[in-house]
Amino acid sequence: MYTNQQETSWPLSGFGDEIDDDPAIQVAVLQGLGAKHIEVRSAWGTNVVDLGEEQLQALAALLAAKGMKVSAIASPVGKVDVGLPVDHEVERLRRAVRAANVLDAKYIRIFSFYYGDNVPAEAVRSNVLERMRALANVAEEAGVILLHENEKGIYGDVPDRVLDIMESVDSAALRVAWDAANFVQVGVKPFDEGYAKLRPYLEYLQVKDARFSDGQVVPAGEGDGDVLRTVRALKEDGFTGFASLEPHLADTHELGGYSGPVAFGVAARAFAAITAEAGVRTL
């Protein structure tokens, strides 16, 4: 969110499946770290867009029983080759929307398509924008907000192309999920090169850091992602959105990453130190 009011409290969330496949364990660990929200990418080892209706209802019941709310559906939509038909990802987004409806989530994370190592980004721009517009149309109809994550290797992996997507699609249903580690891994200085450009669209903070030297993901504040500068600037700007822990400290793969309960706790405490220094309270 982008407001003129000074806010110092942000809701804390986290990618539950980085803790464990079992959502009950995910919730227990997150609540132990002080979070009242969870970001749902998978449950019981199944990606959120592939959960059946009974599984979605069971997950909703479990979360309700534990008093846990959902900050976002962390879908894999758009994390495919841009050459696939438009309807391929539109259909997957509709399944993500169903999950959002059942789990009472406002946000759905998406990506802006892979296109191959030897293909110039300009060559796929029109195809990417056509697909992003189609996805935004679904979101507008459904009353949800899509969060574009700047994943490495997709069209929107650097600030200028993320901005191009935001300006070209021009939809209130499409906003930015800021991932500092992913920017570092494509050689971008996140705060210096991206913050001012993307701040008007920045609505969700994914908490992850990385080093320029080797691309390794590390706890917030231990890399080159300018996490403290970003948190301070967001506080000054009146940001009131979610901060969602996505540590990636033990393993990464095509559809996400894994940390385990112990490493997840390390990541949470590292971010807590940053927010305390910046004068931000997470709830």
Taking the chain (283 residues) in runs of 10, the rounded mean pLDDT of each run is 59 96 97 97 98 98 98 98 98 98 98 96 98 98 98 97 98 98 98 98 97 96 98 97 92 63 94 98 96
Instruction: Give domain limits for the chain.
Output: 9-282
The number of C-alpha atoms within 13 Å of 253 and in the hemisphere containing its C-beta is 8
Nearest to 18 by CA among 49, 48, 39, 32: 39
CA distances from 217 to 46, 187, 283 (A): 24, 14, 25
Determine the pLDDT at residue 3.
42
Q: Which fold has domain 9-282?
A: TIM Barrel (3.20.20)
Structure tokens at 20: 């464990």
3-state DSSP: the chain helix, strand, coil percent, rounded to 5? 45, 20, 35
Give residue-wise pLDDT tens across range 177-200. 999 999 999 999 999 999 999 999
Determine the pLDDT at residue 160.
98
Residue 212's SS3 state is coil
Determine the pLDDT at residue 5.
44
How far is the C-alpha of 206 from the C-alpha of 218, rounded, in Å? Answer: 13
How far is the C-alpha of 244 from the C-alpha of 212, rounded, in Å? Answer: 22
Beta-strand relationship, 217-218 and 9-10: unpaired
pTM, 2 dp: 0.95
Rg (CA), the chain: 17
Determine the pLDDT at residue 1.
45
- Confirm if 11 and 71 have CB atoms less than 8 A apart: yes
Determine the pLDDT at residue 208.
96
- Confirm if 245 and 264 have CB atoms less than 8 A apart: yes
